[in-house]
Amino acid sequence: MQESLHQAAHPNDVIRSVQAQFSLHPLLNVMPVHRHNQHGRFEHGIAHMKTPTPAEWPPALARFGFLGREEVATRHHQDWSGLPATAPWGIVYPRNTEEVAVVLKWCHENKTPLVTQGGLTGLAGGAHPSPDCLVLSTERLCGIRHVDPVMCTLTAWAGTKLQDIQHAAQADGLYFPIDLGARGSCTIGGNLATNAGGNKVIRYGMTREQVLGLECVLADGSVLSGMNQLLKNNTGYDLKQLFIGSEGTLGVITQVVLRLQAKPRHQQSAMCRCENFDQVLATLQHCRKRLGPGLLAFEVMWPEFIQCMTDGLPKLRYPFAQKNGFHLLIEEGHFSNSADSGSLTACLGELLEFAVLNEVVIAHSEQDNLDLWAIRDSVAEYSQFLGPVIGFDIGLPASTMVATTQNMVAAIRQQWADAVVLFFGHIGDSNLHVVVHVPGLGHEEQPHHAVEALVYPLVAQVNGSVSAEHGVGLIKKPYLSCSRQPQEIALMQTIKNALDPHHLLNPGKIFDRSASSDKSPSLPP
Ligand SMILES: Cc1cc2nc3c(=O)[nH]c(=O)nc-3n(C[C@H](O)[C@H](O)[C@H](O)COP(=O)(O)OP(=O)(O)OC[C@H]3O[C@@H](n4cnc5c(N)ncnc54)[C@H](O)[C@@H]3O)c2cc1C
């Protein structure tokens, strides 16, 4: 057992924690795994544009830093989805709304497809460039414009890094609750465009819930300014919600107005171990009742995940003697003066007393807290010892999780008997991450499509979601109909046609122009 992680037979023995904080580290120094597949097809119907020589660079775009294909930095050739690197036709770096509007008007007049890139940390291929597109990078469209500490709002340019938003809120004693491992690289515009989730969704909701207003530029270059600052504003359709989660297919978000929260004075984390998933759900139910809005995170790691991560990464400080069972990482935030409100200890004590939980540890220093979270956050490092993996970000009704995960393992192992299949996720949000690795196969040989064709129909069977938080982009486009009805997809296409009739904004992302080309897998009987 680790020295400073206190293992408790009963929570009264548990040593209280001091203020717990997440480490704000920049994006991990792991490169996206190359994914070799056929999703990188681009169906915008625009003739292939040849590489422009500098003499052919459009003068109208010169003041936005236009660079032609050969000059585009390789970091703009791919995002974190692992799709093969592709050099776009060109790139621009506008610095304000007016400049974005000029760029989009130029694209509209010249029928040039445009792909918006933020921090390029997206995992679904939404920001992946096509060879014919102009990339609009939001790198220079950044900065905090205003923080209102009375009404708890923050206004920023869309290219501002999530971490800078968090710091700006903190500087005024407030808190922006969206937090992802990619916080040092991803942008708030990308967070809105993907409706990003993260670890605190159980308490504060997705990015969608944090947005009061936004400004965006439409496909024809017109500016839609909806910089609402009011918490209550029932004046017709909530247009901002159209753009949130639309992955850059309906407009380019230029500015945002965000809601801020009061930061809990103290955060206290605990790791628990139990035997089965019914006990996981019983713990979730009890924590929701006992901690109320104090429940900040409820993360669950399956037994194989714990075994694999702690074996593969010996630097992790694993707190229990036994590695079997489900592991829960629970975080409470509270406003009392003492670092320990007593609520988490009491709540987990009751669960120990009724034998719902087998073991509990509570961090009693900031380092302990970081060490417990390091076990969950080790997912960013599995490729280092496991090799290339096939990752999933699915949503499942809680009551179906055990059967569905068992069916997935059975289906995958029927074809690849020694496949590694790991599960972990934000179970309070019905969000499960699945990691599959077929030993002996390199990056390009991992059977992405064959495994996807096994997993997604099982998700569809229980009315789950093929993308709980990462978005659809190119990677999940073929499986959209596993989670959305034909009428829903048709309505999405109607909205797309209305706002972007020439399909110039992120063409071919989420769905193709015609519904009939959406190749969905056949569902098992
Ligand atoms: C280590 C790591 C951890 C992650 N953890 C999480 C997590 O916990 N939860 C989660 O939800 N995601 C997570 N992600 C995925 C990713 O960070 C999010 O999807 C993030 O919101 C993407 O932001 P970005 O600025 O990098 O966007 P990009 O990757 O640049 O773009 C993503 C999409 O948004 C569009 N877009 C970007 N900016 C704009 C704009 N201004 N206007 C219109 N469209 C725009 C792009 O065209 C594209 O479709 C993680 C990624 C990594 C690498």
Residue 501: what pLDDT? 95
Instruction: Over range 144-165, report the average pLDDT.
Output: 98
Which pLDDT score, from 0 to 100, does residue 40 have?
35
E strand map for 170-291: 174-175, 211-217, 223-226, 252-259, 261-262, 266-274
Provide mean pLDDT across the span 77-94: 95
Least confident range from 25-39, 163-177, 204-218, 247-261: namely 25-39
- Candidate of 27, 186, 329 to mutate for ligand 1, largest count of ligand atoms within 8 Å of Cβ: 186
Closest approach atom of ligand 1 to CA 141: 41
Residues 136 and 116: beta-carbon distance below 8 Å: yes
Q: Given this model, what pLDDT does residue 341 score?
A: 75
| Ligand 1 neighbour 197 (Cβ under 6 A) | yes
Tell how far CA 230 is from the center of its chain: 27
| Beta strand pairing call for 134-137 and 90-92 | parallel
pLDDT given at position 514: 63
pLDDT for residue 3: 31
What is the Cα–Cα distance from 170 to 420, expressed in whole angstroms?
41
Q: How far is the CA of 139 from the centre of ligand 1 (A)?
A: 14
Of 42, 52, 500, 35, nearest to 242 (Cα)?
500
112 lines ligand 1 (CB under 6 A): no
Ligand 1 centroid to Cα of residue 506, in Å, is 14
* CA nearest ligand 1 atom 52, residue: 182
DSSP character for 522?
A: P
pLDDT of residue 54: 84
Average pLDDT over residues 106-117: 97
State the pLDDT at residue 76. 98
For residue 14, pLDDT beyond 70: no
Give the pLDDT score at 45.
35
Atom of ligand 1 nearest to the CA of 158: 41
- DSSP summary character for residue 435: E
User: Measured at the alpha carbon of residue 20, what is the angle toward residues 16 and 22, in degrees to the nearest 5?
Assistant: 155
DSSP annotation of 333 reads E
Q: Write down the mean pLDDT value for the chain.
A: 88
Q: What are phi and psi of 362, to 5 degrees?
A: -120, 135
Q: What totals of helices (H) and strands (E) does the chain contain, helices first?
A: 13, 19
Quick count: other Cβ atoms within 10 Å of Cβ 33? 17
Average pLDDT over every residue of 407-430: 96
* pLDDT above 50 (res 485): yes
Atom number in ligand 1 closest to CA 248: 44
Beta carbons within 8 Å of 372's beta carbon, 6+ residues apart: 5, 269, 270, 271, 319, 329, 361, 363
What pLDDT does residue 342 have? Answer: 83
Best-predicted range by mean pLDDT (32-36, 110-114, 373-377): 110-114
* pLDDT range class, residue 5, cuts 50, 70, 90: very low
- Model confidence at 30, pLDDT cuts 50, 70, 90, reads very low
**pLDDT of amino acid 322:** 87
Q: What is the largest CA-CA distance in the chain?
A: 76
Residue 13, Cβ neighbours under 10 Å: how many?
13
What is the distance in A from the centroid of ligand 1 to the CA of 510? 14
Q: Which atom of ligand 1 is nearest to the CA of 192?
A: 21
162 lines ligand 1 (CB under 6 A): no
C-alpha 184 to ligand 1 mean position (Å): 12
Q: Taking the model in full, what pTM does it have? A: 0.88
Instruction: Give the residue-averaged pLDDT of 230-258.
Output: 97
Ligand 1 mean position, distance from CA 339 (Å): 34
Residue 471 Cα to ligand 1 middle (Å): 9
Mind spelling out the 3-state secondary structure of 112-131?
Answer: CCEEEECCCCCCCCCCCCCC
SS3 content of the chain, % helix, strand, coil (to 5): 35, 20, 45
User: Is the CB of residue 186 below 6 angstroms from any atom belonging to ligand 1?
Assistant: yes
Lowest mean pLDDT among 12-21, 349-358, 444-453, 480-489: 12-21
- Ligand 1 atom at minimal distance to the Cα of residue 117: 30
The atom of ligand 1 lying closest to the CA of 188 is: 25
Regarding the beta carbon of 247 and ligand 1, being less than 6 Å apart is answered yes
User: Could you give the domains of the chain?
Assistant: 6-19+265-381 (3.30.70.2190), 144-262 (3.30.465.10)
- Higher confidence at residue 77 or residue 39? 77
Question: How many whole angstroms from 312 Cα to the centroid of ligand 1?
Answer: 28
> What is the average pLDDT across 434-439?
96
The predicted pLDDT at position 56 comes to: 84
Predicted confidence band of residue 48 (pLDDT cuts 50, 70, 90) = low
Environment class of 288 (CB within 10 Å of its CB; exposed 0-12, middle 13-18, buried 19+): middle
- pLDDT of 320 > 70? The answer is yes
Q: Strands 134-137 and 114-117: what pairing?
A: parallel
- Over residues 58-67, the pLDDT tens digits come to 999 999 999 9
Of the candidates 248, 120, 263, 265, the one whose C-alpha atom is nearest the C-alpha of residue 184 is: 120
pLDDT at 339: 74
Q: Whose CA is nearest to atom 46 of ligand 1?
A: 127
Asked if pLDDT for residue 467 goes beyond 50, the answer is yes
Any atom of ligand 1 within 6 Å of the Cβ of 120: yes
Taking CA atoms, 151 is separated from 229, 234, 254, in Å, by: 9, 18, 22
Ligand 1 centroid distance, CA of 129 (Å): 14
Structure letter (DSSP) for residue 53: P
CA–centroid distance, 418 to ligand 1, in Å, is 33
Q: pLDDT confidence of 181, banded at 50, 70, 90?
A: confident
Contact 414, 463 (CB under 8 A): no
Stronger pLDDT, 9 or 420, i.e. the higher one: 420
Strand partners, 271: 329, 361
Rounded mean pLDDT of 219-226? 98
pLDDT for res 8: 35
Closest residue CA from atom 7 of ligand 1: 198
Q: Which residue reads 């965006």 in tokens?
A: 216
Cα(185) to centroid(ligand 1), Å: 9
Q: What percent of the chain has pLDDT over 70?
A: 88
Q: Is the CB of 163 under 6 A from ligand 1?
A: no
Whether residue 303 is predicted with pLDDT greater than 50 in this model: the reply is: yes
Q: Are 255 and 97 in contact (CB under 8 A)?
A: yes
Question: What values do phi and psi take at 503, rounded to 5?
Answer: 50, 55
| Residue 136 in contact with ligand 1 by CB distance below 6 A | no
Q: Pick the more confident residue, 2 or 460.
A: 460
